[in-house]
Structure 1
Amino acid sequence: MNHEPTPTSDRQQLADKARSLRSLHAGPGLLVLPNIWDPLGARLLQSLGYPAVATASAAVAFSLGYDDGEKITFDAMLAVIRPIADSVRVPLTADIERGYADSPAGVADNARRVLAAGAVGINIEDSFSEGALLRATDQQCARIAAIRAMAREAGVHMVINARTDVFIIDSSATLQDRIKETITRGKEYMAAGADCLYPIFAGDLDTVSQIVEGTGAPINIYARQGVASMSDLEAAGVRRLSLGPNLLRAALQAMRQVAVEMRGQGGYDGFGEGVITSDEIRKIVRSHKMPGKKV
């Protein structure tokens, strides 16, 4: 089945969005991506002036009642990506974990389906599963190169955010060894066609600075407690900051607080001052017309 966007107008729109997303990695400033999992969250960020939006695989899986780690099907992932892409004017980059395939051809075909769904960027990981072994560098490079070749053929520069799990895997390696391995992989991944390197769980300023300097590549950092400040990361040369599932965690905590209050105290204070109003939500929803039929 041909999963490429066939109409010329669609392809040109995707190419324009991909070009815009790629340019955001060149600065000036830090590209901040509070990852979302549904169209409403995407529209909220667009309404706040974010120039691009991103999904987080963990947030998507959690919202569907599953754990992270390709526990939902690829078709289910696409079913989430497509309406998010349709809901906003800004570029969307999608987290597709390990690509839902092992072979370069399989990963490239899945990336083609993501592009056809409207996302112009992807995250692709280099481990077999979170906390497990890393793929050989040449194997991961072949997967990245296949995605780049597919995108070139489609006429859209899909932005590849190459995630390396060097800092996640169980290993007796020293911190300096991990930094060296990250730099080595980063250079190879960029040469294979990646646009950005994502050394997830690297966060202290010295480590990040060494990776930025050693690779010369745009670097994506995962924002979490204990990570250097946004201003320090930007000064160190980091180009992209993402929140992973942390926005969903914050939203779920707010829901839990209201639910606990109602069950335990019978109160409604959680709906009070400071809560977004229905009129505000309608304004966000009506800010962009969804294509096709009503749901």
Structure 2
Amino acid sequence: MSASAPTPFAALHRRAGEPLLLPNAWDHASAALLAEQGFPAIGTTSLGVAAAAGLPDGAAATRTETLRLARRLGRTGRYLLSVDVENGFSDDPEEVAALAVELAGAGAVGINLEDGRADDTLAPAALHAAKIAAVKAAAPGLFVNARTDTHWLAVPDPGPETGRRLAAYQEAGADGVFVPGLTDPSAIEELCATLDVPLNILYSPAGPTVPHLADLGVSRVSLGSLLYRTALAAAVAGATAIRAGAPAPSPGAEVPGYAAVQAFHHDRPGPGAASDRG
């Protein structure tokens, strides 16, 4: 698709001064709740998908679970879906491209493809670029967000290596680039000035706010596994408080009732009663 006619998902990355805030879901209910709050696009969190299945994240162990979730979420029509596919679950670019075709067929409009490996090393930049090129050739309408883990892994002086990798990924056809772990405002602004594609930053509670990231030129802000980990913390806090004889702590928002959550089931309508059966 030409730059003058971007896909709806790509267009969300091109709103001046208004980055796409992408919350990350781990199942149907979390995606439905986020969509109800008006988020036009939702990503998946690879940690949430992996942990829910009792599998490790970043170890190419969740291809089946990721595809199953994409098929569940990609056909609702209520939001645009981007899928975190770790490193594509393979070092064979053609296998990664085949997965991309399956995800596009399931209704996904984008993928997040990372160059970090389970052994805490970076894949060769040329290999990652080959994966990007293969995906764009096989599924040209899919928005490829090319992630580099230079700021998360033990890369000394990561700035130059980040720039080198992002240049290669842009050249390979990436629609956007993602640098999790980068929180320094001046480095973010500098990087934005060198890129021809949108920059995605992972939100950090200790880093710049979303309005500040917008001022720096960031086009997309992902929440990653933050919401999933927050939900786990709320579950533990509630259970332990009740065990101790205290009221359940307030999560800061109204807890949805049984009927409201049941209504998110898109195969059948929820019950009228507000009972709590499980």
Same fold, TM exceeding 0.5? yes
The answer to whether the aligner puts 1:135 opposite 2:105 as a matched pair is: no
| Alignment deviations for residues 184-208 of structure 1 (CA, whole Å, 9 cap, x no partner) | 2212211211111001111111111
Aligned length: 261
Q: Whose helix fraction is larger, Structure 1's or Structure 2's? A: 1
> 2:148 — aligned with what?
164
> Distance in 2 between the 1:55 and 1:274 partners?
23
Equivalent residue runs for 1:124-203 within 5 Å:
124-129=113-118, 131-132=120-121, 134-152=122-140, 157-171=141-155, 173-174=156-157, 178-203=158-183
> Distance in 2 between the 1:195 and 1:108 partners?
15
> 1:248 — aligned with what?
228
SS at match of 2:221: strand
Which blocks of at least 5 consecutive residues in structure 1 are unaligned? 1-17
Q: Which moved more, 1:79-88 or 1:37-46?
A: 79-88
TM-score (norm 1): 0.82
The answer to whether the aligner puts 1:66 opposite 2:50 as a matched pair is: no
> 1:93 — aligned with what?
82
Return the letter of the residue paired with 1:86: R
> 2:216 — aligned with what?
236
Which blocks of at least 5 consecutive residues in structure 2 are unaligned? 1-5, 269-278
Contact preservation (8 Å) 2:35, 2:79: yes
What displacement does 1:216 show? 3.3
Return the letter of the residue paired with 1:55: T
SS at match of 2:87: coil
Contact preservation (8 Å) 2:50, 2:62: no
- 2:70 aligns with one of 76, 81, 94: 81
> Distance in 1 between the 2:51 and 2:244 partners?
26
SS at match of 2:201: strand
> Distance in 2 between the 1:221 and 1:248 partners?
18
Q: 1:130 to 1:195 in 2, by over 3 A?
A: farther
Contact preservation (8 Å) 1:32, 1:242: yes
| Alignment deviations for residues 97-146 of structure 1 (CA, whole Å, 9 cap, x no partner) | 000111211111111122222211101111333621x2222222111000
- 1:48 aligns with one of 20, 34, 37: 37
What displacement does 1:225 show? 2.5
> Distance in 2 between the 1:198 and 1:124 partners?
9
- 2:10 aligns with one of 6, 22, 36: 22
- 1:213 aligns with one of 193, 206, 222: 193
Q: 1:62 to 1:113 in 2, by over 3 A?
A: same
> Distance in 1 between the 2:152 and 2:201 partners?
14
> Distance in 2 between the 1:130 and 1:200 partners?
17
> Distance in 2 between the 1:45 and 1:275 partners?
14
> 1:112 — aligned with what?
101
What displacement does 1:232 show? 1.0
> Distance in 2 between the 1:210 and 1:68 partners?
31
> Distance in 2 between the 1:216 and 1:111 partners?
23
Q: 1:138 to 1:261 in 2, by over 3 A?
A: same
